[in-house]
Amino acid sequence: MTQQDDRLLTSLGDNEDSAIVRFPAGKALVQTLDFFTPIVNDPYWFGQIAAANALSDVYAMGGLPYTAMNIVCFPIKKFPKEILREILHGGMDKIRESGAVLAGGHSVEDEETKYGLSVTGIVDPDHFASNKGLRAGDHLLLTKPIGTGVLATGLKADWEGSEKFEEILYRWAGMLNAAGGEVIRELDLIGATDVTGFGLGGHLLEMARASKVDVVLRLGDIPFIPEAIELAGMGMIPAGSFANKKFCAALVEIFPQCDPLLVDLVFDAQTSGGLLLGVPEAKVARAVEILEHHGALAAYVGDVVAFDPDRGSLRLHP
């Protein structure tokens, strides 16, 4: 299937080995790549989630997706081509939703299915967000709930209610972080990240250390997925989430009243999680308005405070 777009000087239908792309004057590149094995059973939903996850890093810097290239591993001798077609269909629909154009890709035969994207975005070189942009006094806003790692584990185990787990995963992990990207651009935010494999706590620690500040999270204000809390209570916490918590332990200060189960979920490895935005107090109301208008969450989960060498860089309050 060919796709005509003014950004491409070459055509997918001509079987070129590379794509030539027009680039807007005065813009900088955002480049990222991500792919993984299926976390849901529905191949179309998997394609959408994998594409949304790969596109997320562009939004986290305040950029706009511009071009994307497919990365495909598939056991073609084991599974019917229709499954691969549905994965690619889901990815293409999500690419189109983002406003990017598919510029090509590469596929290999593999024993295990994997899919994702290499994405190029555009950003204003003088106005973008990064890990090192948090400032003391910023409010921390989170745009998606926490717990997708636990849900994916329950789904793989075919736990009771797994059909609902898959629907929740699609609802949130399949959502683009475009609204958060819009907040970054409109309000000129300089501190943001997306919450993925290191969990909310791990990514927030990365920001704190890069910005030379400390951060306070309030467990009671974090939007945990209720089904994830229930599954975590049954021990359905992925090994990667425990590894996140152990790795970060030396930099985390946990108040005694904190629920240990919720502490574990703070480090739950997310797939296509939300954006975590550092928002100055004067801009919070407008940020919330934009996020809620687009159907994203605008959960005020914590605050950025001045660095204290005698305290934990990440402090968890009840």
Pairing verdict, β 314-317 and 213-218:
parallel
Mean pLDDT of 270-281: 98
Q: Which of 49-58, 63-72, 154-163, 189-198 has the lowest mean pLDDT?
A: 154-163
- Which amino acid is present at 46? F
Which domains, from first to last, does the chain contain?
Answer: 12-123 (3.30.1330.10), 131-317 (3.90.650.10)
Residue 39 has a pLDDT of: 95
Beta-bridge partners for 18: none
Structure tokens at 202: 């791990």
pLDDT at 179 over 90: yes
Contact 164, 227 (CB under 8 A): yes
**How far apart, in whole angstroms, are the C-alpha atoms of residue 63 and residue 27?**
10
Residue 1 has a pLDDT of: 43
What percent of the chain is modeled with pLDDT above 90? 89
Sheet holding 314-317, edge to edge: 191-194, 275-279, 139-142, 299-306, 213-218, 314-317, 252-254
List, for residues 257-272, the tens digit of each pLDDT value: 999 999 999 999 999 9
Structure tokens at 57: 């890093």
Q: Using the structure block, give the residue that is written with the tokens 């928002």.
A: 279
Mean pLDDT of 32-38: 97
Q: Which of 3-12, 123-132, 202-211 has the lowest mean pLDDT?
A: 3-12
List, for residues 212-252, the tens digit of each pLDDT value: 999 999 999 999 999 999 999 998 888 888 899 999 999 99
User: What's the pTM value of the predicted model, to 2 decimals?
Assistant: 0.94
Mean pLDDT of 63-78: 97
Band of the pLDDT at 13, cuts 50, 70, 90? Answer: low
